[in-house]
């Protein structure tokens, strides 16, 4: 009995367990305390850009219909026989202002008809030797200096147009040639006219001048009128370089 009590093998497991329990208690009592950090909230990462005043270009693409700015029906004031017709008085031929187009013989006198403006013959209704009565329609003439394009613009895009009106007219404006010193138009917006369905880069500079009062019957769209100077490009020099037109509210209109 005493041998078993004083035997080292008997006490060794107890000593090991006691030592382990003591170390565990010491570690639990002396454990490090966790430090609390301040609750810091990070914001979202953003880039800061300095705002600068600019004048961006606004480009509107739409479609339009071409019509003649000048169109008259040449009529005879008096009756008689057509004794002479100018070679330029044929459909598709161009003529200059004050060019003699035809002569009507009245007994022993003649009546001469001259071109009222630069233009092109759209339709010819008379021939040499034909007798015409007063008021007979001889030909339909179109002006070649200017043409107009009716532009269909959605009403939602109307606010894109500039509000301030120009007081001065371009040097080659039809209204300037008509003798008007002040502009009665609503807009002076640069535009570029291009033909749809043509592979070649054909473009005409134009100016959006005014707005029609009525809307389109089907689409309920606003109708603007653009003026094209020299639509037949009769005054273009061979060395001229075609350049695009840009500016506030610039248009690009495709002719149908």
The arithmetic mean of pLDDT across residues 20-30, rounded, is: 81
Question: Do 63 and 157 have their domain in common?
Answer: yes
Q: How far apart are CA 96 and CA 114, in angstroms?
A: 9
Nearest Cα neighbor of 225 from 256, 177, 191 is 191
For residue 17, is it within any domain?
Answer: no
Whether the predicted pLDDT of 116 surpasses 50:
yes
The answer on pLDDT for 135 being more than 50 is: yes
Domain boundary among 87, 121, 143: 143
| Distance in angstroms (rounded) separating the CA atoms of residues 155 and 177 | 32
Mean pLDDT check: name the lowest of 15-24, 66-75, 232-241: 232-241
Whether 46 is in a domain gets the answer: no
- pLDDT value at position 133? 93
Does residue 124 or residue 187 have the better pLDDT? 124
Judge if 188 and 204 occupy the same domain: yes
**Residue 38 in domain:** no
Is 218 found in the same domain as 92? no
Q: Is residue 227 part of a domain?
A: yes
Q: Would the pLDDT of 78 be above 70? A: yes
Q: Does residue 209 share a domain with residue 154?
A: yes
Mean pLDDT over each residue of the chain, to the nearest integer: 79
User: What is the reported pLDDT for 149?
Assistant: 93
Rounded average pLDDT over 91-108: 90
5 falls within a domain: no
Are 98 and 151 members of one domain?
no
28, pLDDT greater than 90:
no
Residues 108 and 194 in one domain: no
Which pLDDT belongs to residue 42?
A: 74
Structural domain for 139, as ranges = 71-143
Task: State the Cα–Cα distance between residues 216 and 224, nearest whole angstrom.
Answer: 11
9 in a structural domain = no
- Identify whether residues 196 and 250 lie together within a single domain: yes
* Same domain? 216 vs 116: no
Rounded Cα–Cα distance for residues 167 and 121 (Å): 35
Work out how many domains the chain is built from and give that number: 2
Examine the domain organization and report whether 102 and 179 are in the same domain.
no
Q: Would you say residue 85 lies in a domain?
A: yes
Terminal C-alpha separation, the chain: 124
Q: 150 and 226 share a domain?
A: yes
Q: What confidence tier does 165 reach under pLDDT thresholds 50, 70, 90?
A: low
Q: Please determine, for residue 71, whether its predicted confidence score (pLDDT) is greater than 90.
A: yes
Last residue of a domain, one of 108, 143, 178: 143
Residue 66 makes CB contacts below 8 A (sequence gap 6+) with: 147, 148, 149, 231, 255
Give the strand order in the sheet containing 80-85: 109-114, 100-106, 80-85, 131-132
């Amino acid at each position: 009995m005493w041998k078993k009590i004083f035997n080292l093998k008997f006490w060794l497991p107890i000593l090991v367990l006691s030592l382990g329990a003591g170390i565990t208690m010491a570690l639990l009592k002396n454990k490090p305390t966790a430090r609390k950090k301040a609750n810091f909230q990070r914001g979202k990462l953003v880039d800061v850009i300095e705002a600068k005043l600019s004048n961006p270009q606004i480009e509107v693409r739409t479609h339009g219909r071409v019509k003649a700015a000048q169109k008259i029906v040449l009529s005879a004031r008096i009756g008689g026989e057509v004794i002479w017709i100018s070679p330029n008085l044929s459909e598709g031929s161009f003529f200059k202002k004050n060019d003699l187009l035809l002569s009507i013989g009245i007994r022993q006198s003649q009546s001469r008809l001259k071109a009222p403006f630069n233009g092109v013959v759209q339709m010819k209704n008379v021939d040499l030797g034909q007798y015409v009565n007063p008021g007979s329609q001889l030909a339909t003439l179109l002006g070649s200096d200017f043409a107009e394009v009716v532009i269909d613009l959605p009403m939602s895009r109307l606010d894109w147009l500039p509000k301030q009106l120009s007081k001065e007219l371009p040097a080659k404006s039809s209204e300037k040639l008509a003798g008007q010193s002040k502009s009665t138009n609503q807009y002076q917006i640069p535009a570029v006219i291009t033909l749809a369905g043509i592979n070649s880069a054909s473009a005409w500079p134009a100016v959006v001048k005014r707005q029609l009062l009525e809307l389109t019957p089907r689409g309920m769209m606003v109708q603007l009128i653009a003026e094209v100077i020299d639509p037949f490009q009769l005054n273009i020099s061979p060395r001229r370089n075609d350049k695009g037109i840009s500016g506030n509210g610039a248009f690009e209109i495709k002719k149908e």
